[in-house]
Amino acid sequence: MSYLLHHPIEFQTRLRPDAPALMQHDQAWTYAELAGRIDSLARGLHALGLRRGERVAVWLPKSLEGIALMFAISRAGGVLVPVNPLLRPAQVAHILADCGARMLITQAARLKALAGELDGLHDLRWALCVDQAGEPLVDVHVLTLAELEPYPPLPNPPPPGGRAFNPAAMFEQGRTEHDLAALLYTSGSTGRPKGVMLSHRNLLAGAASVAHYLGIRPDDRLLGVLPLSFDYGLSQLTVAFHAGASVMPLDYLLPRDLHRAITQHRITVLAGVPTLWHQLAAQDWLGELESLRVLTNSGGRLPRPVIDRLRAALPSARLFLMYGLTEAFRSTWLPPEELDRRPDSIGKAIPNAEVMVLRPDGTPCAPHEPGELVHRGPTVGLGYWNDPERTAERYRPMPHAERAVWSGDRVRMDEDGFLYFIGRDDDMLKSSGYRVSPTEVEDALYASGLVREAAAIGIDDDTLGQRIVAVVASERDALDTAALLNHCRAALPLYMVPQRIEVRASLPVTPNGKVDRRALRDELAASTRTPLEPV
């Protein structure tokens, strides 16, 4: 039988049913309790008519029930589509329409906010509210979580010497590890988010690889602070369940929230992006987080002063610098022992993967020669949902090997095989660990009706990775930049809102008439002016 996304939980249930799997606030679920909840929810989803391969979107803040639903979707044969809770209704509606979601799992208030965006969502048939009944929507049946679970959990684990009858096993007949398990939506260079297709094999191979090189143990406690719609955030769950560890999901507002969670629950593993590590490095109580033994960073470069501060305050913790892309989950890791020698390196290939630096013609680059990072192995995704042209461009076969993913990231490799990030071949931005499409930001600026021309530019920033600056031209003598920023805040999630607005008479163009982004980027990088209005 193939190994599917929910199987590690079932495996841990048979191995250590009473071990903690999830904890949040005053709740704690063992692996047996989590498996039972998943089983009940999967049968409820099946009773609603969910069929194999249909997409189920989850638009929720982190909760134990929400996590159980995510894995119940896998067990019932559906395809998980986690949606970032920070997204605005219009962006959520795009994802629902693009993936043809059959069901949406959310909260009543979020469903109400989405009501005006439901035109054209012809595939959506069910909306499940985890808290209370939502308002009825045209052609969409709304019910609560309690109505989804009419069935008591089956015995799990099976009785000694026997095997429990499990009707849910019928969900797995004919399924393989190569089947689509999840769609993770990430910003694309053309503006609208695109769905990266990941198989059960992709997700579980990634979990096994990361758990191995991080040395995750059953007694570890992981604090899940990253969005579960983010491959790095979702992997906190899959890595923990692979190793039999426990996870504490947390939506935090202030650094003090992290201090409270880590010290009270004796958290041992913390994954973050540069903005989080900058926040923690500035706290005088950082040394009190002595239970931490593993720290990981991805989504951008950590400056040496932050690295030094973390290591000095937490000498017992091992800091792993990593690089990854949604299309291949995780690509490289730098062993902590190499930090002093290579603090600017993104490391070497993760176990069970090959990472190469290639020229446009596919030939290998010489040491230190810039080229494109290309990744092959079992974590390489299936392509982009409903986008064969973009899939063929990014996912290409290689001689004598399965296909690889061409990242679009320019890197170099030294004589010892360690990689160093240089930049991107396209105009994509990277801010607060998120990949941001400049087109999507520009569309919001144009939709305000206040600007004639607009360009979203990323400027290097030690804390954010890149600071988003909007350069605009307007027909108005005095553009109301505060009104423009307010419009962006209403239309975009916070991480996409420009930190600064520059007003020009016109924008520079290249000889072919396009906005000269390179000239703008060079000019803004040299500028020392204070942002007009920080977000």
Q: Quick one: pLDDT at residue 10?
A: 96
- In the three-class reduction of DSSP (H, G, I as helix; E, B as strand; rest coil), residue 270 is classed as strand
Residue type, 507: L
CB 469 within 8 A of CB 524: yes
Rounded CA separation 350/409 (Å): 17
Contacts of 513 (CB under 8 A, 6+ apart): none
Q: What is the DSSP letter of 58?
A: E
Write out residues in the chain with pLDDT < 50, as ranges.
151-165, 167-168, 528-535
Q: Quick one: pLDDT at residue 508?
A: 85
Q: Quick one: pLDDT at residue 104?
A: 94
CB 476 within 8 A of CB 450: yes
Contacts of 416 (CB under 8 A, 6+ apart): none
Residue type, 372: E
Rounded CA separation 512/208 (Å): 48
Please provide the distance, in angstroms rounded to a whole number, between the alpha carbons at the two ends of the chain: 51
Q: Quick one: pLDDT at residue 165?
A: 37
- Three-state SS annotation for 204-226: HHHHHHHHHHHCCCCCCEEEECC
Contacts of 162 (CB under 8 A, 6+ apart): none
H helix count then E strand count, the chain: 15, 27
Rounded CA separation 58/79 (Å): 11
CB 134 within 8 A of CB 121: no
Rounded CA separation 169/372 (Å): 44
Q: What is the DSSP letter of 157?
A: S
Q: Pairing relation of β-strands 194-199 and 246-249?
A: unpaired
Q: Quick one: pLDDT at residue 162?
A: 43
Residue with tokens 């997409």: 55
Q: Quick one: pLDDT at residue 518?
A: 79
In 3D space, the residue among 231, 267, 230 whose CA is nearest the CA of residue 248 turns out to be 267
Q: Quick one: pLDDT at residue 505?
A: 85
pLDDT tens-digit profile of 59-79? 999 999 999 999 999 999 999
Q: Quick one: pLDDT at residue 188?
A: 61
Residue type, 8: P
User: What pTM was computed for the model?
Assistant: 0.84
In 3D space, the residue among 156, 175, 147 whose CA is nearest the CA of residue 78 turns out to be 175
Q: What are phi and psi of 65, to 5 degrees?
A: -65, -40
Rounded CA separation 57/164 (Å): 31
Q: How is residue 113 written in tokens?
A: 């906010």
Q: Quick one: pLDDT at residue 106?
A: 92
- DSSP codes joined into one string, 478-515: S--HHHHHHHHHHHS-GGGS-SEEEEESS--B-TTSSB
Q: Quick one: pLDDT at residue 511?
A: 63
Residue with tokens 């992290």: 258
| Run of H or E including 20 | strand 20-24
Residue with tokens 């607009």: 454
